[in-house]
Structure 1
């Protein structure tokens, strides 16, 4: 990783380092941090420990104490929630914070939609404003968090679109289903599923190593399932509802 960075000239805005290990194995993260600290110093950059955080994902009933990680001798803060490239990660890998933040930001943008409604903009212009200015907030990085949503969280996201549709139609609003059909606006859950499927087709073309092998990779026989990906064995719902197993199910379907 450090060698790859040495040969590039760019502004380093954000860098994340990850380690996956058995709880009995010693952590090598401190050695990586020390090496990256030395590289930064040699290239006339300084790391700010106050802006660096540590988040630990461990699902043991009695988790071991986390390793103390330092930069320049200063310990790094261990946090339960962190922001990574616009996505809020929780240490339990649930998405309540992500959903709450998206809804809050989208509701703020609905304020402008309501203001524009008072100027009697055409309905189609209001729909365009919603689909290009508000809805993307509710779909950012959907393939990452959509498979792990609860029904209640999905309903909360859909409620934002329901309020937008009611605002656009005003007194002509009767019910949500009919309003969506009149405005040609699909359910957010359907759009998120389509975005996950598009992400899967992207992986097929450009990152096939991230997907499990197909049946044809194991044998040369032509069978009904030879073009389908091997099932990802999941011992927990947490893994089953993670992006790759979910995308594999979509591609096989």
Structure 2
């Protein structure tokens, strides 16, 4: 009953806030701003309402874990926000972890990839130890799939399409090192190794995860609105293959390779 009662207690927090995401006791609010005339007053008003809600419901916010991130890719300098929760000014950070995913204020995924590579590389020590103890290849293969590979795949549909080549190579090298550990002297190359161990390249797994996520959106009425509406019938052409309206020409490559334009492209090409 504890978790259920807790959810009942906090369910009405931030209900009248349009840009908010809540997961258990974690909450995120944001506002879009005009880079020429940034106005953070609406966000501060939201925080003030949240403080009032906590006082009315006898809930305390951990101000040490409450931070502000200023996402800005503009070439011109934009003043960062100065926000507070009651009497506590909030710290402005350049990166933070949200549900296991590290976001930075430039949305380039460098820190997230570095964190994944470090964690997965640390877990490779388990494979090395088991190898010295005489563990069979098949068992090492299952250990890799169970403990190491999920680190490289966690929530990959949200970020994998936005990776640049060097970031993909860093993740691929982790699996390459795992193959060398598992096969030992029998290792003769990466491609033969993943064939022997019945593995796919990490980049291929990421693409399949994005495709699977897109298909699940198509069949889920609650989240179908994340995708653009069905494309209207063409006036002059007799046939067309697009399922959804093609994504408008993006002004930045960052948006072009982000998850939803990638999903639309995948669905239309199926």
Tell me the TM-score normalised to structure 1 length. Answer: 0.91
- Corresponding residue SS for 2:102: strand
Runs of 4+ in structure 1 deviating by more than 3 angstroms, as ranges, are 218-224
Cα distance in structure 2, aligned partners of 1:242 and 1:137: 21
**Is 2:24 the counterpart of 1:17?**
no
Cα distance in structure 2, aligned partners of 1:55 and 1:44: 27
Within the candidate set 214, 239, 243, 2:255 is matched to 239
Query: Considering only aligned residues, what root-mean-square deviation do their CA atoms show, in Å?
Result: 2.1
- Corresponding residue SS for 2:144: helix
Cα distance in structure 2, aligned partners of 1:36 and 1:6: 11
| Structure 2 unaligned blocks of 5 or more | 1-8, 14-22
Q: Is the 8 A contact 1:214 1:226 kept in 2?
A: no
Within 5 Å, which residues of 2 pair with 1:52-71? 52-71=66-85
**Is 2:39 the counterpart of 1:26?**
yes
- Corresponding residue SS for 1:78: strand
Per-residue deviation, 1:173: 0.8
Partner of residue 12, structure 2: 6
Cα distance in structure 2, aligned partners of 1:223 and 1:186: 39
Per-residue deviation, 1:227: 4.8
Within the candidate set 105, 108, 120, 2:134 is matched to 120
Per the alignment, do residues 203 and 122 of structure 1 end up closer, same or farther by CA in structure 2, a change over 3 Å counting? same
- Aligned length in residues: 247
Within the candidate set 225, 235, 238, 1:209 is matched to 225
Cα distance in structure 2, aligned partners of 1:56 and 1:198: 32
Per-residue deviation, 1:84: 0.9
User: Which piece of structure 1 moves more, 186-195 or 116-125?
Assistant: 116-125
User: Which piece of structure 1 moves more, 96-105 or 205-214?
Assistant: 205-214
Tell me the TM-score normalised to structure 2 length. Answer: 0.86
Within the candidate set 161, 172, 178, 2:192 is matched to 178
Per-residue deviation, 1:175: 0.9
Q: Is the 8 A contact 2:44 2:84 kept in 1?
A: yes
Per the alignment, do residues 184 and 64 of structure 1 end up closer, same or farther by CA in structure 2, a change over 3 Å counting? same
Per-residue deviation, 1:194: 0.1
